[in-house]
Amino acid sequence: MSTINNPILPGFHPDPSIIRVGTDYYLAVSTFEWFPGVQLFHSKDLANWELIGHALTRTSQLDMLGVGDSCGVWAPCLTYHEDTFYLVFSNVKNFDGLWKDTPNYLVTTQDIRGEWSEPIFLSASGFDGSMFHDEDGKKWFTSMLLDHRDGKFFGGILLQEYDVQSEKLVGSEYRIFEGSDIGITEGPHIYKKDGYYHLITAEGGTEYGHAVSQARSKAITGPYEIHPENPIISSSHQLDWPLQKAGHGDIVDTPSGDWYAVCLIGRPLPGSKRCTLGRETALIPMEWRSDGWLYNATGEKMPPVSLELDETLKAEGNSQRVDFQEGGLPLQFQSLRVPQSEDWVSTRERSGFLRLKGRETLSSAHRQSLVARRVQAFHVEATTHLEFQPAHFQHMAGLVAFYNTYHWHYLYQTVDDAGNEILEILTCDRYRFIEYPEHRVVLPKGTKEIQLKATIKEKALQFAYAPNPTEWIAIGPELDASILSDDYVQDHDNRYRAAFTGMFVGMCCQDLTGHGHPADFAWFDYQELS
């Protein structure tokens, strides 16, 4: 036996959906406004997970141009039946105001590592869609129902049959579950075991009241009775537990007959309720007891901080250095809303470099030139080598710690009106742009390259630069990294109550003249520190 620690997927990996195909486990997580959509992971032991690709790689599958922060891809549901993988997802267009725009789609493939089909529209009545393949050959689509009337918002769980031949929902629509007294019922998944249809849902909202609930029925259309000790997973009753926000779960069995759940969790920074790493994925041992209900096998409701698995060894960290070569970026790097394409990001135009052609501002929901990766630990260093010759004050390039279009810290190179190349820091915090002119650095004439670094230790972020590889110089004040969290955004700005991602670090370039002035990056290094 080996001991592993939760979370099994640290950093922004929310809404996990898991399946087993033979001895292989596959897991899908939400990506929201980050492109490509839906991260796909593979494991042989439930502990060591490899990112093997993304399901939604084309704009014909996923058009997110202009969608709001924390919109885009929500709650994918991954299933498998008769040699075909099915993936249901929501592509949320708008979540502000009374009405929501939440279309749901289905894509399929026979090779999970290959290309997925064009999307089939299912419904826009709500979000968190799911597919269930019944023993009689029928397929059923479930989702939560949005009800905008009288401030209700969550209207229960819907069920409708899906017809493979006509590629659409058919027959009657059933409202099968109104939820438990926890409320805010979403994320439905159906399973069949021992003559019962078991409905697993997320409840309580995806914050500190989050939970996994269970109900069951002899008929798929209901009525459903609620678990006698509901919820089956939650941390809401023990707010000092290291793994908070436990909810939105899915279950899977092993070849030997053991059962596990995956669910999202959040790890607050010490002394706060802010989770800068976003909503992460945890693993929980489960058991079916003699009463026919599912229980957390630890005897508690909370996800365990650590657990034992048969003969497995947890992989070491997520540190990665990338030296840019032709062939594109590693899978860990994503862009905002639009795909990476040669018209703005290239490893071919200059050999050994990543070239970003400047486009829109960090506040844009359309065409940014930004590539970034998740922050997956509380103490990290992100470093890059930049070669940039700005010719206008609207030319900028550098290193960014990013949450969404109005919450970020940015260290960048630009030029002033006198022609001096300079380093500056800009923070965006709740629409407020904060400059630090007293910390501006004028670079020596003829500077052709520079290294930039962000050191993040819990809530503290310190930028630095190196005019040569051996001389690091701190620049600017110690910044508050905790503003790059769901909790900060939700607690302080009602306009951004849809705040569901996590902190990223990456490289970006802006040319606000609209002419695509380029910046070149030789490498990007991400190191997790003790």
Catalytically active residues are 15, 186
Contact 147, 101 (CB under 8 A): no
Tokens of 58: 């084309």
Residue 523 burial (10 A CB sphere; 0-12, 13-18, 19+): middle
DSSP state of 492: H
Rounded CA Rg of the chain = 23
Residue 156 burial (10 A CB sphere; 0-12, 13-18, 19+): middle
Pairing of strands 37-43, 50-56: antiparallel
Tokens of 141: 């689509």
Cα–Cα distance for residue pair 454/396, rounded to 1 Å: 17
Cβ-count burial 301-336 (b if 16+ within 10 Å, e if not): bbbbeebebeebeeeeebeeebebeeeebeebbbbb
Cα–Cα distance for residue pair 103/364, rounded to 1 Å: 23
Tokens of 208: 């500190």
Cα–Cα distance for residue pair 274/429, rounded to 1 Å: 15
Contact 363, 370 (CB under 8 A): no
Cα–Cα distance for residue pair 508/360, rounded to 1 Å: 10
The neighbouring-strand residues paired with 5 are: 306
Residue 422 burial (10 A CB sphere; 0-12, 13-18, 19+): middle
Cα–Cα distance for residue pair 156/158, rounded to 1 Å: 7
Contact 106, 122 (CB under 8 A): yes
Residue 205's contacts (CB-CB under 8 Å, 6 or more residues apart) are 184
Cα–Cα distance for residue pair 355/353, rounded to 1 Å: 6
Contact 410, 362 (CB under 8 A): yes
Identify each DSSP E strand in 297-406 by its residue range: 306-309, 320-323, 334-336, 345-346, 354-357, 369-374, 379-387, 395-404
* Residue 483 backbone phi and psi in degrees, to 5: -70, -10
